[in-house]
């Protein structure tokens, strides 16, 4: 529901088939989910796949909406 403008939506289930086609392992990648817990597991998987600069957005999209961009809807 909440999307950071300019971000790319890749659901967790699609990541194994899309990561190497759509993401550059040399770039900084920020992964986010609702509260930041699922994104941590995705980051661990990405790092195992060679995406060493992947990181999780602390607090998720909920924290982003509260602290950075209140126009992003909370759910």
Evaluate whether 9 touches 20 at the Cβ level (below 8 Å).
Answer: no
- Active-site residue list: 33
């Amino acid at each position: 529901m909440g999307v950071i403008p300019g971000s790319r939506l890749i659901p967790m289930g699609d990541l194994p088939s899309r990561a190497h086609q759509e993401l550059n392992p040399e770039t900084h990648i920020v992964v986010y989910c609702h509260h930041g817990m699922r994104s941590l597991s995705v980051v661990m998987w990405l790092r195992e796949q060679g995406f060493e600069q992947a990181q999780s957005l602390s607090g998720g999209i909920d924290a982003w909406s509260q602290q950075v961009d209140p126009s992003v809807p909370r759910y």
